[in-house]
Amino acid sequence: MANKPSLAVLLLGLALLILRPVGSEQHTPNGESITASDLRRDVNFLASDDMRGRLVGTPENDSAAEYIEQRFERFGVKPIGQNLSYRQPFQLMTTTLDGTNTLRIDTGPNEESAEILREFLPEPFSGTGSATGPIVFVGFGISAADLLHNDYRGADLSGKIALVLEHEPGEFDPDSPFAGVVTSEYGRSIRKAIEAQQRGAIAIIFVEDVHNHVPRPDLSDISHRIWPRSQTRVPHYQLASWVNQLHIPAIRVSSNQAERLIKNIGQSLHTLALRADVIGGTTPVEIPDTTIEIVTSVRRESISVDNVVGLIEGADPVLKDEWLILCGHYDHDGATPTRIFNGADDDASGIAALLEIAEAYSQARHDGYRPKRSILLAAWNAEEQGLLGAWAYTENPIAPLSDTIAVVNMDMIGRSEEVPPGGGYRFQGLPSQTAESNRNAVNILGYSYSHDLQVATEAANQLTNLVLRFRYDNNGSNLLRRSDHWPFLFSGVPAIFVHTGLHPDYHTERDRPDTLDYDKMERIVKLVYHLSWDLARGDTRPTLN
């Protein structure tokens, strides 16, 4: 028989109830409807062999979307997508080399042609066209006003070709203003290309930042991945709304070829790169007596795919126009003739959670309880291709992002983090740890961007008593930007990522429904439900630090 609680313990419990935000715990109705058995049922369907891994662009991916739609409709979730449906379509794009692609370099006395796929290659987002002109080295090619960084200061790129380094300044500095050691969005190559185009550049050339990374004197080792000779099982999709913005040629050159491009300034690429790695931006360098001719020919093809979205309308006549987003992604990595990447944890678990929360709100509404703010339930697509469904939403939101108070993203919430010793590149930056050591734990990422969200998550956890680990926001694993909360953080919306962690079955055919801990999942989903109720009923909205 358990001992009776002491007076001190009783008083502490009372204090926690008083401090817990209004709309919590005893005010969070119908949380008991969230059950391990219901979660198991949804995961078993979404991650069954019949679903063939739900690869974006396949019939099975669409079947998963239909399943989510049916459950939304059953629970009275309001269709809020295109034409008052549950679908929010967006365009994905694939590209192939098509026709002539050349690079010629005239440095005065010498004129040379570069060999495609060995000394240079077009970027997959390149426009089709030609450009002839002088070169300007613009460091990392980043303009970030919010970080007071500008690599273009005083440069006139009209009629010129920009030469830029890959990645970003302070890449391995935990105190870097970009995002610490997390790869920031400013380092994305297509963003650099669009920036150069807006500044008048007629083409852009990328080269490895050789002071931070091993030089690539030859591109042959990566060209087959960027431009495969035959169709791959998983197409290399890009977000069409990004690629369609770029019209100028964009190419990558080997480090040896880059040395030829800059030889007339009498400095090595390493020296030039090292000088550019400064906070605030570098001084552009014109390359004298050098003319480049670039011809690119790339064929673009688009397909339409869908996010699945539905709204739980808020009851407050004013606050209902402020939205909270709860989300996960329903796509995964598909199948081969002999292997199925079921994606039970990644991320059938998050979608099952979304459906259980939809049911809890449905039952609460039936009993007369409604949130003040509206809650968008979003099942993103194409997450495995680079968070493309979430990015598409931030570019074309149903409600203004300024009216989105927060995002809570659930991705891989069905296991316990397990990092084997010497686990390899898949676990880079993560300390080795056993599943048992994380049996009651869940990781919360994005906490360092909003202290308010961290406090709210801790308060919502008083009922579920999970161990919340706040530890990976500035980590070499890059986990912070590897799921669908990231586009919202970059867009200035407070967001957290609820995540039980990586494990050896991650992205393998072993990620099956029978490997999940559904009892633990139930508690995590209840945590998110309590948190969502708190945020949707609170007097104030979370802020970014």
**pLDDT, tens digit (0-9, with 9 covering 90-100), for 11-70:** 434 443 333 433 334 468 999 999 999 999 999 999 999 999 999 999 999 999 999 999
Return the beta strands (E) in 180-339 as ranges. 203-207, 238-239, 250-253, 285-296, 298-312, 323-329
Question: Is there a cis peptide before residue 106, judged by omega within 30 degrees of 0?
Answer: no
What whole-number distance in Å separates Cα of residue 70 and Cα of residue 392?
23
The CATH 3.50.30.30 portion of the chain extends over 99-296
What whole-number distance in Å separates Cα of residue 298 and Cα of residue 413?
40
Q: What is the pLDDT of residue 27?
A: 60
Q: Say yes or no to pLDDT of 210 above 60.
A: yes
Options 3.50.30.30, 3.40.190.10, 3.40.50.300, 1.10.8.60; CATH for 99-296 is 3.50.30.30
Interstrand relation of 441-445 and 467-469 (parallel, antiparallel or unpaired):
parallel
**Amino acid symbol at 535:** L
Task: Pick the range with the lowest mean pLDDT from 3-17, 41-55, 107-121, 139-153.
Answer: 3-17
CA distances from 166 to 145, 158, 215 (A): 19, 22, 12
**Amino acid symbol at 293:** E
Q: What angle do CA 524, 494, 429 make, to 5 degrees?
A: 65
The CATH 3.40.630.10 portion of the chain extends over 21-92+304-410+430-500+518-537
Mean pLDDT of 326-347: 98
User: Is residue 143 within 8 Å of residue 187, measured between CB atoms?
Assistant: no
CA distances from 461 to 129, 323, 407, 488, 531 (A): 56, 22, 17, 23, 8
Mean pLDDT of the chain: 94
What whole-number distance in Å separates Cα of residue 315 and Cα of residue 532?
15
Options 3.40.1180.10, 3.40.630.10, 3.10.310.70, 3.30.465.10; CATH for 21-92+304-410+430-500+518-537 is 3.40.630.10
CA distances from 388 to 2, 170, 385 (A): 52, 26, 6
Count other C-beta atoms under 10 Å from residue 428's C-beta.
11
Can you give the pTM of this predicted structure? 0.94
Q: Looking at the chain, how many residues does it have?
A: 545
- Could you report the per-residue pLDDT of 395-444, keeping only the tens digit for each? 999 999 999 999 999 999 999 999 999 888 899 999 999 999 999 999 99
User: Is residue 504 within 8 Å of residue 445, measured between CB atoms?
Assistant: no
Chain center to CA of 297 = 29
Q: What is the pLDDT of residue 231?
A: 86
In angstroms, the first-to-last Cα distance of the chain is 47
**Amino acid symbol at 341:** F
Smallest CA-to-CA distance from 115 within 133, 103, 128 is with 103
Q: Which residue has the tokens 């980590």?
A: 475
Q: What is the pLDDT of residue 109?
A: 81
The number of CA neighbours under 13 Å toward the Cβ of 95 is 20
CA distances from 161 to 106, 237, 292 (A): 14, 27, 8
Smallest CA-to-CA distance from 444 within 485, 476, 488, 403 is with 485
